[in-house]
Structure 1
Amino acid sequence: MTRAGGLHIGLIGGIGVAATVVYYQRLTAEVARRGGTVDLTIAHTPDINVLIRNNLSDRRAEQAAEYAPLIDRLKAAGCDCAAITSLGGHFCFAETVALSSLPLVSAVAPLDDFFVREGIRRIGLLGTRVVMRTKLYGQLARTEAVALDAEIDTIGQAYQEMAVAGHCTPAERTLFVEAGRRMVQEMGAEAIVLGGTDLGLAFDGQDPGYRVIDALDVHVAVLADLATGRTSLAEVAATT
């Protein structure tokens, strides 16, 4: 069902709360910048720790089953599509698609095209353990991804603690910023992508001395295109 002005966007939120707030703020701001209004509903995940446990144990089917009733709730609210407000939460994307009562708009699929358009050939990754270990779930076909492999557990644990707390400590900020610097200086990364939605808590308002790309902004741009009718779900699906 398409409404005048675009689609009704559904967000699976609460993974974590800070990330959901940023999605809400940036999506509404981007649509307003384009001169439009957004029809938006958020379904809240009651316990982020369920996602964390399933993610760390690679329990994809179990997490997809957690998402499915939330997507049903979004459909009942009139949403035309749904999005997961967490890059880490995309580890079970295919399994969720199989159960979903609505089309799902990926945050991972648009990144490769974005990097190519920007002329980036090698990207450094920060995010959850799984995002870094799988190099963004192996979905970068035309961009080489690098991570500090020996420090994935340390960085991933710090990210997890920040996401659960909803704020970033000075020590965590230093860890993330320094990790990005090392990937740029020692591994030839041309930019660092924030592959964890909550990493804005560490990088927003900061100038680390290297280019930072927030994957959230790339996803929001796709959602804004749908919300304002600039693109269709069929066109988005054709690029994934």
Structure 2
Amino acid sequence: MHIGLIGGVGPAATEVYYRALVRAFAAANRKLALTIVHADAREMVANLEAGRAIEQAAIFAGYVDQLRASGCDAVAVTSMGGHFCMSELERVSRLPVLSAVPALNTYLAASGARRVGVLGTRAVMLSKLYGVNSVEVVIPSAEDIDAVHSSYVTLATSGNASPDQCSYFHAAARKLHENGNADAVVLGGTDLSIAFRNTVLPFPVLDSALIHVEAIAHAAMN
């Protein structure tokens, strides 16, 4: 299968997907067929915050057409925030869309966790990972959600995480574990891994980007 990625939303997540797919195919001794298009993160964030799902799906569909013209067989969006318009995209896409949500649901069901916290955009948190139901999902408190959202958007659009940003997200994860009784914390923003590199916390931290990549690779190889 020739994989198409809608990247750029944001740049750091795109790199995570690319490197992880390369590793997965190398480990399986399989040849990777991959094309990436670069979407506009600021445009996507503006549509996300305004709730313009149909409009963003149409933009993504244009990228799908580019990927289809490049020979891709299926596509994936490298952003959990970008999944806010997944239903709309699936209706208009001219290629199959490999969504992260079923992959997360399956992974979490097998993880042994009963209660997980989530960090990411407002849409990801308030929707509780877009309706994942294999575990109980807990989110930051009402007074923290806006701060987590804005901090994440800043990180994602820049593609970098300062020491202060890293400390902020580590504290937010600890709060979900300690105050929300979460067995594990899901990085529900696919760029969040850059804030948790080389970090050891006293509870599992699950990267939604890597979980999605595993499902993409499995679909492509099978």
TM score, norm. by length of structure 1: 0.90
**Structure 1 partner of 2:147:** 154
Matched, 1:132 2:129: no
Task: Provide the secondary structure at the position in 2 that maps to 1:91.
Answer: helix
3-state SS in 1 of match to 2:45: helix
Q: CA deviation at 1:113?
A: 1.5
Residue 103 of structure 1 and its aligned partner are, at CA, apart by 0.2
8 A Cα contact 2:115 2:136, kept in partner: yes
> What CA distance in whole angstroms lies between the structure 2 residues aligned with 1:39 and 1:97?
22
**Residue 227 of structure 1: how far off its partner (Å):** 2.5
Quote the offset at 1:168 in angstroms: 0.3
Specify which of 131, 134, 148 is matched with residue 142 of structure 1.
134
Contact 2:35 2:67 in 1 (8 A): yes
1:186-197 to 2 correspondences below 5 Å: 186-197=179-190
C-alpha displacement of 1:55: 0.4
The CA distance in 1 between the partners of 2:6 and 2:111, in whole Å, is: 29
Which of 26, 34, 39 pairs up with 1:40? 34
The 2-side partners of 1:42 and 1:129 are apart by 26
Quote the sequence identity (%).
Answer: 42
CA distance in 1, matches of 2:112, 2:202: 19
Write out per-residue CA displacement over residues 146-178 of structure 1, whole angstroms, 9 at most, x where no aligned residue: 011320100110000001111001111111111
Distance in 2, matches of 1:141 and 1:103, equals 23
Q: CA shift at 1:209, angstroms? A: 2.3
Indicate the residue corresponding to 1:109 in structure 2: 102
Do residues 118 (structure 1) and 97 (structure 2) align? no
The answer as to 2:19 corresponding to 1:25 is yes
Contact 1:88/1:131, CA 8 A, preserved across alignment? yes
Q: Secondary structure, in 3 states, of the residue corresponding to 1:30?
A: helix
1:174-213 → structure 2 map (5 Å cutoff): 174-213=167-206
CA distance in 1, matches of 2:18, 2:117: 26
Counterpart residue number, 1:222: 215
Q: Runs of 4+ in structure 1 displaced over 3 angstroms? A: none
Among 151, 161, 174, the alignment partner of 1:168 is 161
Q: Deviations over 1:208-235 (max 9, x none)?
A: 2221010111111111112222xxxxxx
Q: What are the superposed Cα offsets for residues 80-128 of structure 1, whole Å, 9 maximum, x if unpaired?
A: 0000000000000000011101000001111122111111110100111
Cα RMSD (Å) of the superposition? 0.9
SS at match of 2:3: strand
Letter in structure 2 aligned against 1:130:
A
Question: Does structure 2 retain, via aligned residues, the 8 Å contact 1:9–1:227?
Answer: yes
CA distance in structure 2 between the partners assigned to 1:23 and 1:217 by the alignment: 7
The one-letter code sitting in structure 1 at the alignment partner of 2:14 is: T
Structure 1 residue runs of 5 or longer lacking an equivalent are 1-6, 230-240
Matches of 1:213 and 1:71 in 2, distance apart? 28
Alpha-carbon contact 2:13-2:209 (below 8 Å) kept: no
CA shift for structure 1 position 142: 2.3
- Return the letter of the residue paired with 2:193: G
- Is 1:122–1:143's contact at 8 Å kept on the other side of the alignment? yes
SS in structure 2 of the partner of residue 108 of structure 1: helix
| Number of residue pairs aligned between Structure 1 and Structure 2 | 221
Paired amino acid for 2:111:
E
What one-letter code is carried by the residue in structure 2 that aligns with 1:25?
A: R
Q: Is the 8 A contact 1:28 1:37 kept in 2?
A: no
